[in-house]
Structure 1
Amino acid sequence: MSNSVDILLVEDNPGDVRLTEEAFKDGRLANNLHVVTDGIEALDFLYQRGEYEDAPRPDLVLLDLNLPRKNGDEVLEDLKDDTELASIPVIVLTSSKAEEDIVTSYQLHANAYLTKPVDPDEFVDVVQSFERFWLEIVCLPPEEA
């Protein structure tokens, strides 16, 4: 993997965006965190449409489930049904602990499901743990995969 990692964060809560940016800023790896706030924007980014025509292909996606316009399950389903994009790891990062949401996410081929802690410090710890695992330990597929 290159020295820099492109991460697409699909999150409509400004507080969670800020905490995620803070956690990655303190991380050990260089990364480019791209933020979109709803499911339609996420797909536009992934398909490089409209204002995102020059967007990089993300190395991984952090996806909230509760999104305006198009929810996280719909985004996940569209992404994993597309042979060009299906190899991009998608990590669901949501406040839902509902068993139904967990099962559905994995049925739609999410690569992991993380529940957002309410405490800001714990939230930062979860994001940094995610970063260590997904960006330092796991081998991600090359863009051509």
Structure 2
Amino acid sequence: MLDKLILVVEDNPDHLELTVLTLEESGTRAEIAVARDGVEALDYLFGQGQHAGRDTQRQPSFILLDMKLPKLSGLDVLRSVRKNPLTALVPVIMLTSSSEHSDMAACYQSGANSFVRKPVDFIDFTEKVNRLQAYWLDVNQSLAAV
């Protein structure tokens, strides 16, 4: 089992596939977990629902979180993550199509570590995901991983 973990929370199948493939092809040294909606993301993080019994002491090195999700928005997921001592220190990167200033402000006010717009171009998208992975796994020192 790899010691690092990335949680990708994305409902768009094309964006999800591209993100996971980019991470895998970059040679990431992290396990990649996937949630397709906000409820599934919280179930994974807190070891409930279909993820009951998961070792919740092993939390992601970082979370790539889409803003616009079914069942529970990315912003609501972020707020729940920040309120829980188990996940409060996990870096959360909002990866979104939104270019609204109000969305960016709401994310930062709710505790996001980063707000990244999804590029439309395939090459730009993969480059951004590779940079995010390199920074949050290799450069950043996270309390959550200690």
Task: Provide the TM-score with structure 2 as the length reference.
Answer: 0.91
One-letter identity of the residue aligned with 2:109: Q
TM-fit CA distance, 1:142? 4.2
One-letter identity of the residue aligned with 1:139: Q
Q: Which moved more, 1:21-30 or 1:100-109?
A: 21-30
Q: How does 1:1-145 map to 2 (within 5 A)?
A: 4-53=3-52, 54=54, 56-143=58-145
- Secondary structure at the counterpart of residue 35 of structure 1: strand
Q: Deviations over 1:34-67 (max 9, x none)?
A: 1111111011001001221225421211100000
Judging changes above 3 Å, is the alpha-carbon distance between structure 1 residues 3 and 69 closer, same or farther for their aligned structure 2 residues?
A: closer
- Distance in 1 of aligned mates of 2:141 and 2:34: 23
- Distance in 2 of aligned mates of 1:14 and 1:3: 25
TM-fit CA distance, 1:140? 1.7
- Distance in 2 of aligned mates of 1:114 and 1:30: 22
List runs of 5+ in structure 2 lacking aligned partners. none
Judging changes above 3 Å, is the alpha-carbon distance between structure 1 residues 142 and 111 closer, same or farther for their aligned structure 2 residues?
A: closer
Q: Is the 1:45–1:52 Cα contact (8 Å) retained in structure 2?
A: yes
Q: Is the 2:2–2:31 Cα contact (8 Å) retained in structure 1?
A: no
Query: % of aligned pairs identical?
Result: 34
